[in-house]
Copies of this chain bind each other. A is one copy, B any other.
Amino acid sequence: MNELPKDAIKCLDKGFVRLVDSMGGDDAIVQSARVSYGKGTSKVSQDRGLIRYLMRHRHTTPFEMVEFKFHCKMPIFVARQWVRHRTANINEYSLRYSEARDEFYYPDPDNIEFQSALNKQGRMGEVDSELKQKVQRYFKEISERSFEIYSELNEAGVARELARAVLPVNLYTEWYWKNDLHNLLHFIGLRSDGHAQYEIRVFSDAMASFVKEVAPFAWEAYQDYVVKGMRFSKIEQNLLERKLPDRVIDDIQEDVAYQLTASLHANKPRSDEDLFPLYKDQGGSDSLDDFNLKWSSGEIDTGNVRELREFKSKIETLRQS
């Protein structure tokens, strides 16, 4: 197992992530969602739109209908964080059944950093090269010496399950790991985040690249609504609304009315003169002339009608709350 499998993404110095199998993709999400909503969703004609709607409204069960199975190899201290995601199925290389292999993680100099003062669980700031060399020397020393001891005890016939207790947590282990897309995205959301430890982030990013291939719409929606979404607490909203003048909110509302109009127009082709009445229906307050001016200037993006409506009411809430 010393060589990288062909279809694997290399992670750290000796680890990897390999997609062994998967079941379903964007299509399977749509298929199972349609069973829930029955004929009622006949109008939501586009898969991408439906997937984005599901993600936006946290309808998570259709995403559970897609399954991924990975073969991964990583240091024990990474496996220890990973295993906390409890919905996954795991078969790990056992040091009770099998002999340990001489494979340890040695950090690349670029990833040896100081303890962050701000973030109790993070690292931050360049370490000088002398200290870096010391770290690497120490990793090598402990790894080699512990493996030497392990091997000697093993050859002397000491029970493997006991002898392995001298091995450090930078030893590589490997497993098959299977999970559904909803829980996999949750994993990636937490472990590809800037607060996650670098060494697990690498593996999470590798799995992410497989997800992106297998279920591109779901991946995009997850990015837009969850990962890059920004949440304001009730307290922050209080601060926000005290400083967000009504005229700014009016401007935003107006802009959304434009977007909505343009979206309606784009979805169902009609002549330009039908647009202004539609715009008025959406609550737009510009005059016909101003409207036409903005329309022909092309500053209006077309988008998802439903989403714009939701944004409009969200902004409205900000003023009234």
Contact = CB atoms under 8 A, between A and B. Distances in A.
Interface of A: 20-24, 28, 31-33, 35-41, 56, 61-62, 64-65, 67, 69, 71, 75-77, 80, 83-84, 86-87, 89-94, 96-99, 105, 107, 111-116, 120-124, 127, 131, 134-135, 138-139, 141-143, 145-146, 149, 152-154, 156-170, 174-176, 178, 180, 197, 199, 223-225, 228-237, 239-240, 242-245, 248, 251-252, 255-256, 259, 303, 307, 311, 314, 317-318
B229 A229 contact: no
Given A61-B91, A169-B169, 18 more contacts: A35-B92, A38-B93, A38-B97, A40-B98, A61-B89, A64-B178, A83-B83, A83-B84, A112-B159, A115-B159, A142-B142, A165-B168, A165-B170, A178-B180, A229-B237, A239-B255, A243-B251, A248-B248
A244 to B, nearest CB: 6
Tally of this chain's copies = 4
A87 B89 CA distance: 11
A13 to B, nearest CB: 12
Given A230-B317, A248-B248, A158 B135 contact: yes
A167 B31 CA distance: 26
Given A121-B96, A231-B230, A252-B243, A77 B36 contact: no
